[in-house]
Amino acid sequence: MTNPIPTPDARARANRSNALLSTGPRTDSGKQRSSQNALRHGLTAARAVLPTEDRAAYDAHRRGFFDEYRPATPTETQLTQELADTSWRINRIPSLEAALLDCADLDIVDAHRALATLGLHYQRLSRQFQKAVDHLREIQSERRHEQEREIKRAAALLELHKRKGIPYDPAQDGFVFSRDQIEAHTQRLMRLNESRYVEHVLFQMQPPTRAASASL
């Protein structure tokens, strides 16, 4: 005998039945356990630090990211905070995996399922971390380039006013740099230009040939 081909109405009824079976826990205890899943591993919880974790260790972890990226705008601060929180969650995953493997009364099927879930969380968090890194570096690079262009314009205007003997206030042209900052930048550019000349003479100029040396 062959199995009868289900009609569209039968398939629709089966789909509705399956959906009812897959909507999650329905009892109060089941819903409570489900609501605590995020808190157990903390990988999707609103707060990055679990109550059982060392807050001082997290603060040191977070400070390392802020020391590295030194955010200067609210957007940069938000992205730096995201990096700290995301990496903190990523670093928690190995200990969660180890705890699963050490759990003697855990069913092997449940263990594999839990490890696979942690693997998915790791991939998601890693993508989130890399995306935040790329975005932060991009906007910081744009900000630094814009600041470099602005201070060069300010330095050129300051030099122009010096040559004309006219006092110059950078704020009158909308610059946020002080006169001392512009002067320091100008001196730095002059030293860099001198160093490039020295580098060219010492390391890039071709030594004279024997014929040239003999004719001298």
Question: In this predicted structure, what is the pLDDT of residue 213?
Answer: 55
Of 151, 149, 140, residue with least CA distance to 184 = 151
Cα separation, 182 vs 155, whole angstroms: 6
Query: Is it the case that residue 7 has pLDDT exceeding 60?
Result: no
Query: Is it the case that residue 18 has pLDDT exceeding 70?
Result: no
Q: What is the mean pLDDT of the chain?
A: 80
Query: Is it the case that residue 36 has pLDDT exceeding 80?
Result: no
Query: Is it the case that residue 29 has pLDDT exceeding 70?
Result: no
How do residues 132-176 score in pLDDT, each as one tens digit?
A: 999 999 999 999 999 999 999 998 998 898 899 999 899 988 888
What the block records as the tokens of 164 is: 């004309």
Query: Is it the case that residue 34 has pLDDT exceeding 50?
Result: no
Query: Is it the case that residue 12 has pLDDT exceeding 80?
Result: no
Query: Is it the case that residue 65 has pLDDT exceeding 80?
Result: yes
Cα separation, 146 vs 176, whole angstroms: 12
Question: In this predicted structure, what is the pLDDT of residue 207?
Answer: 65
Query: Is it the case that residue 9 has pLDDT exceeding 60?
Result: no
How far does the chain reach from its first CA to its final CA, in angstroms?
108
HEC sequence for 58-76:
HHHHHHHHHHHHCCCCHHH
Rounded to 5°, the CA angle 97-101-104 comes to 145
Q: How confident is the model at residue 199 (pLDDT cuts 50, 70, 90)?
A: confident
40 to 10, 37, 118, 151: CA distances (angstroms):
40, 5, 12, 51
- pTM for the model stands at 0.64
Higher pLDDT, 33 or 62: 62
Question: In this predicted structure, what is the pLDDT of residue 133?
Answer: 98
Query: Is it the case that residue 4 has pLDDT exceeding 80?
Result: no
Cα separation, 174 vs 149, whole angstroms: 14
Q: What are phi and psi of 168, to 5 degrees?
A: -135, 130
Identify which of 43-47, 85-89, 108-112, 191-195 has the greatest average pLDDT.
Answer: 85-89
- In this prediction, residues 59-71 reach a mean pLDDT of 98
Higher pLDDT, 63 or 171: 63
Q: Where are the domains of the chain?
A: 45-204
